Every structure is written in structure tokens, then in C-alpha cells.
């Protein structure tokens, strides 16, 4: 798949004000400063589709973009900054909780992870929370250009080892870099495959 058209639709804090759930939807979420906006811009081949910032927690709304007039790309608020509750049971903030658990046309939630870091407690907690709720998940490791091939391999193994303690099957994962565009084709092809499978099963 190639993104030929990407158009901003809406930026809202209330799930009820999101666009009608009439198209496949793929959302991106991660800990603040994980490189989410840069990744979205890389996937879309746009410099400023999603606004980038050095300030953590910049995205505070649900941002919808329509892609190729076929599917929605959604930029969600980051978790792990001021808005995150101390208790896992209390969730990850009202906006995130409502969207992740109630958005009926969400085909996949891409959870972004910084490839340079050890598995972070907040990331593992979010994955456990969303996975337990039955949300379709895929992992995206960002900033791979900052690591050697050996370091990257160790990061992937660490995550896999941790996740296999709790998951029967580890979610699909992708290695990306907004700088080198690594992983662009793989992520977009995965989205294309999910859309095709969904249409065939209707």
C-alpha cells in the first residue's frame, strides 16, 4: 500500500464526536515522546500531517485522518505522562479508555515502543490492559536507527521474553525509523492485509 491522500478530519476529546465508524480504523498510541507523530508523518510521506513537539504529552485529543478515502488513521494521546493513573484498574485517562475500549471499527491499535529502552512498566501495563480487553494490537518499535543491529536484536528478545510470560501469542511487531523510513512498507502492507481480510469476512 502507498498513501496517496491523507486528509485531516477532526480533533476531539469526546468519543461521541469522532467520525462515523463507517471505515476501517487504525490507531497509534504510545508513551509520551516515543516518536508517534514522526512515525505517522513517515508512513504518510508528509512532514506535518501529525504535529511534532519536544514537549511530552503534546497530543491531548483523538485526531482522525482519512487515508486514500478508504481508512482512518488515528493519532491518540500519549500515556505515561501526567494523565496516567497510578492504578492499572483506573485506566489510562478517560479519552484513551473510552476510545480503546468502545470504538467499534478499530481494526488495530499500534502500540509504539522506544527500541532504545528496556521494557518499560507503563508500556507493559498498557499492553496487559488492552490485551485483556481483547483489543487487536500490533507493536511498533521506533527509533531503530539509533541502535546497532546487535542492540536492536537484544531489545526485541527482551520484549519477547517478557511478553511470552503473559501472552500465549506475542502480537505482530515492526521495527521502524522515521529518519530512514525503515518499516514503512511493512506497516502499510500489514494495514492493507487487515483491510482486505476484513472485507472478505463480511
What nine digits make up the cell of 191? 494495514
State residue 50's pLDDT score: 79
What nine digits make up the cell of 109? 491499535
State residue 178's pLDDT score: 95
Strands (E), 35-165: 62-67, 71-75, 106-114, 137-142
Sketch out the chain's domains with CATH numbers.
6-200 (3.40.50.300)
Which residues on adjacent β-strands are paired with residue 75? 28, 63
CA distances from 79 to 4, 157, 161 (A): 30, 24, 23
State residue 82's pLDDT score: 42
What nine digits make up the cell of 27? 490507531
State residue 166's pLDDT score: 82
Q: How far apart are CA 95 and CA 105, in angstroms?
A: 16
Q: Is the pTM of this model over 0.85?
A: yes
State residue 54's pLDDT score: 52
Radius of gyration for the chain, computed over Cα atoms and rounded to the nearest angstrom:
16
Q: What is the mean pLDDT of each run of 10 residues along the chain (202 residues)?
A: 93 93 96 91 89 57 95 90 45 84 96 93 91 94 95 91 88 96 97 90 68
State residue 85's pLDDT score: 45
Amino acid at each position: 500500500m502507498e498513501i496517496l491522500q491523507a486528509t485531516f478530519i477532526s480533533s476531539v476529546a469526546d468519543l461521541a464526536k469522532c467520525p462515523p465508524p463507517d471505515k476501517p480504523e487504525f490507531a497509534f498510541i504510545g508513551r509520551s515522546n516515543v516518536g508517534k507523530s514522526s512515525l505517522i508523518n513517515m508512513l504518510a510521506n508528509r512532514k506535518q500531517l501529525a504535529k511534532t513537539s519536544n514537549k511530552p504529552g503534546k497530543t491531548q485529543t483523538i485526531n482522525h485522518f482519512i487515508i486514500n478515502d478508504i481508512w482512518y488513521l488515528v493519532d491518540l494521546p500519549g500515556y505515561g505522562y501526567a494523565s496516567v493513573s497510578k492504578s492499572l484498574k483506573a485506566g489510562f485517562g478517560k479519552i484513551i479508555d473510552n476510545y480503546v475500549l468502545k470504538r467499534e471499527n478499530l481494526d488495530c491499535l499500534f502500540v509504539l515502543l522506544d527500541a532504545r529502552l528496556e521494557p518499560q512498566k507503563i508500556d507493559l501495563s498498557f499492553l496487559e490492559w488492552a490485551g485483556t480487553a481483547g483489543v487487536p494490537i500490533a507493536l511498533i518499535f521506533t527509533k531503530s536507527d539509533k541502535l546497532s543491529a546487535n542492540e536492536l536484536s537484544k531489545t526485541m528478545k527482551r520484549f519477547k521474553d517478557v511478553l511470552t510470560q503473559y501472552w500465549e501469542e506475542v502480537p505482530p511487531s515492526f521495527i521502524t525509523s522515521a529518519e530512514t523510513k525503515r518499516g514503512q512498507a511493512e506497516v502499510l502492507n500489514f494495514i492493507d492485509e487487515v483491510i482486505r481480510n476484513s472485507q472478505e469476512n463480511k
